[in-house]
Amino acid sequence: MFHKEFRAVVFQNVLILCASAVLWKQTTATATQVTRPRGVSLARASLYIPDSDFTCLDGSATFPFRYVNDDYCDCQDGSDEPGTSACPNGSFYCRNLGHEAMVVPSSRVNDGICDCCDAADEYQSGANCVNTCKELGSAAQEEAQRRYELESQGYAIKLEYINKGKQAKQSQQERNMALKAEQLEAEALRSEKEREKQEAEEPERQALDKYRQIEQEAMKEKEEIERSQRESEASKAFDWLDSNQDGKLQVEELQTHTAFDQNQDGTVSPDEAKFFLHNEEEMEKDEFVTTGWPLIKPFIMKAQGVEVPSQPEQQAGEIQLPEDHHQEEPIPETEGEEGEEEDEEHEEEGEIVKPSPVTPSSIEYDAETQAIIEAANKARNAYDEADRRLRDLEREIRQLEESNSKDYGPNEEYQPLDGQCYEYSDREYTYKLCPFDNGSQRPKHGGSETRLGSWDSWDGPEGNKYAAMKYDKGVQCWNGPQRSLKVHLSCGMENQLLSVSEPNRCEYEMKFTTPAACSEPRKPNDGDSEVHDEL
Ligand code: MAN
């Protein structure tokens, strides 16, 4: 190991004379000369004083100042070799006059590659570096100026947005207050109408009680008529099928009716016929009326071309039972062609005619009861209307409060985006973003829209939460999570969806520009960043 005193001394503290007057403080306009070793920034110049010992910036050691930049690494943090590549962890500062000052790892010093535009990093390598700071500086200046102008325009729009957002908030609050007042009135009115309804319904209930018994009797009568009608129909059918009139239905009797040819082979086999006799050889009339006829009737109807209702209890379709049981099942007359006289005629022939239904609504109330019912109806309608009005108001208040509780940014600048939608298409999909509502995806070549997520919250990094939005609880991904979407916002003159990607399956990212994301632009500096950087 070399001792410091014997090692080859290559150190040469380069005194950089700031040719251009550097303003140490804006308040003191006097030009000062600052001397500092190679690779040290203006900000750190005061830590490198040639007349005194040098203490490593991490405080780990102190030694004579000549060890600084002697091409031997003495400090653990590399701070004694800012201008050489001796320390693996050192940093080299280039002034880059005319452009932006820059810090590069000191390992790049004299490595033959030009890193600094002022070529300061290659002072001994022989690399042919040219100072390009002036050109780069002016290109950067132009770019900065262009950005400044854009940002200024974007920011002007943002100020309008802030205005709109604040106005919207104010009018929402006013509307909310007005609605709340209306709500109180509507509640009072509904209570009044509810009381009136109860008052009107009580006499109605009493009056209708009297009729309830009548209604029940009417219902019973109706059921009785229907039952006897069913029995009479079944009885007629039995007599018609019982061709030998022996009071029993036999297999042979059913075999003469093609309606029972279930496998459509042109004949009714004994088994086919027995099926309708509950697999017996014969059936008595009583059994036929209760359980035989409901089984047989649909087959007869079908043979007659009458539509068979799906519910067994609806099987009151009209059928004709001809006198002559040997002929094929007749086709019934088409609906509407039969007059009343014909009905009577058919009844003689065995056609079953449905009775006119007796329902509670057919009950006639006396004039006094009728008036009571009408008054109660009127009170009910008035209550319903008051109730509807109150519920409409409550809904509007809820929507308003929901919108009011949304965070539209520190100054309401994002409020004008609520209610708008923006689209972006790639090869496969058209994506849509409706800020504060949802994001979706629609295949370009047909197919339905898929929701990628609904508005959840701001999702930027700590200290900059308004830089991104989160939309979640989208449509479940096949064999995967629910879809979700993150929207990265940046300043732009227009509200525009710039790109969409799906970095992980069913996790989407959008880039969106909006004037609402612009901040107040700072005038670009004159290209010499050291003054600004280091003040
Ligand atoms: C659809 C689209 C895609 C998604 C797959 C997942 O095709 O929503 O974006 O990756 O479903 O199965």
pTM of the predicted model as reported, rounded to 2 decimal places: 0.54
Task: Please give the distance, rounded to the nearest whole angstrom, from the Cα atom of residue 440 to the centre of ligand 1.
Answer: 12
Q: Is it the case that residue 475 has pLDDT exceeding 50?
A: yes
Q: Ligand 1: does its nearest atom lie under 6 Å from the Cβ of 497?
A: no
Q: Whose CA is nearest to atom 3 of ligand 1?
A: 506
Q: How much is the pLDDT for 308?
A: 60
Top pLDDT among 406 and 308 is at: 406
Q: Ligand 1: does its nearest atom lie under 6 Å from the Cβ of 500?
A: no
- Could you tell me the two tokens for 172? 């929402």
Q: Whose CA is nearest to atom 9 of ligand 1?
A: 506
Top pLDDT among 162 and 326 is at: 162
Q: Ligand 1: does its nearest atom lie under 6 Å from the Cβ of 478?
A: yes
- Could you tell me the two tokens for 116? 């600094």
Segment 43-53 shows an average pLDDT of: 93
Q: How much is the pLDDT for 2?
A: 34
Q: Are 68 and 80 in contact (CB under 8 A)?
A: yes
Q: Quick one: which of 20, 69, 70, 67 has its CA closest to 42?
A: 20
Q: What angle do CA 520, 524, 526 make, to 5 degrees?
A: 160
Q: Is it the case that residue 240 has pLDDT exceeding 60?
A: yes
Q: How much is the pLDDT for 10?
A: 32
Total residue length of the chain: 535
Top pLDDT among 284 and 304 is at: 284
In the chain, % of residues over pLDDT 90: 71
Q: How much is the pLDDT for 158?
A: 98
Task: Please give the distance, rounded to the nearest whole angstrom, from the Cα atom of residue 484 to the centre of ligand 1.
Answer: 12
pLDDT confidence band for 304 (50 / 70 / 90)? confident
Q: Ligand 1: does its nearest atom lie under 6 Å from the Cβ of 449?
A: no
- Cα distances from 437 to residues 36, 396, 409, 420, 455, in angstroms, run 58, 18, 15, 9, 5
Between CA 35 and CA 65 the distance in angstroms is 14
Q: Is it the case that residue 25 has pLDDT exceeding 70?
A: no
Q: Which of 429, 449, 477, 478 to mutate to test the pocket of ligand 1 (most atoms within 8 A of CB)?
A: 477
Between CA 52 and CA 55 the distance in angstroms is 9
Top pLDDT among 11 and 215 is at: 215
Task: Write the pLDDT tens digit of every residue in 507-533.
Answer: 999 999 999 999 998 887 655 555 433
Task: Please give the distance, rounded to the nearest whole angstrom, from the Cα atom of residue 419 to the centre of ligand 1.
Answer: 26
Q: CA torsion, points 365, 369, 370, 376, in degrees to nearest 10?
A: -140
Q: Are 217 and 360 in contact (CB under 8 A)?
A: no
Task: Write the pLDDT tens digit of every residue in 105-158.
Answer: 999 999 999 999 999 999 999 999 999 999 999 999 999 898 899 889 999 999
Q: Are 304 and 310 in contact (CB under 8 A)?
A: no
DSSP for 207-258 reads: HHHHHHHHHHHHHHHHHHHHHHHHHHHHHHHHHHH-TT-SSEEEHHHHHT-G
- Could you tell me the two tokens for 87? 């320390």
Q: Ligand 1: does its nearest atom lie under 6 Å from the Cβ of 287?
A: no
Given its phi and psi angles, is residue 198 left (phi above 0), alpha (psi -120 to 50 degrees) or beta?
alpha
Task: Please give the distance, rounded to the nearest whole angstrom, from the Cα atom of residue 428 to the centre of ligand 1.
Answer: 11
Residues forming beta bridges with residue 230, ordered by sequence position: none
Q: Is it the case that residue 27 has pLDDT exceeding 80?
A: no
Task: Write the pLDDT tens digit of every residue in 190-236.
Answer: 999 999 999 999 999 999 888 888 888 889 999 999 999 999 999 99
| Chain position carrying tokens 């509780």 | 405
Q: Are 80 and 48 in contact (CB under 8 A)?
A: no
Task: Write the pLDDT tens digit of every residue in 403-421.
Answer: 888 999 999 999 999 999 9
Give the dihedral sign, CA 104/109/115/117. Answer: positive
Count of helix runs (H) and strand runs (E) in the chain: 8, 14
Task: Please give the distance, rounded to the nearest whole angstrom, from the Cα atom of residue 453 to the centre of ligand 1.
Answer: 13
Segment 450-462 shows an average pLDDT of: 97
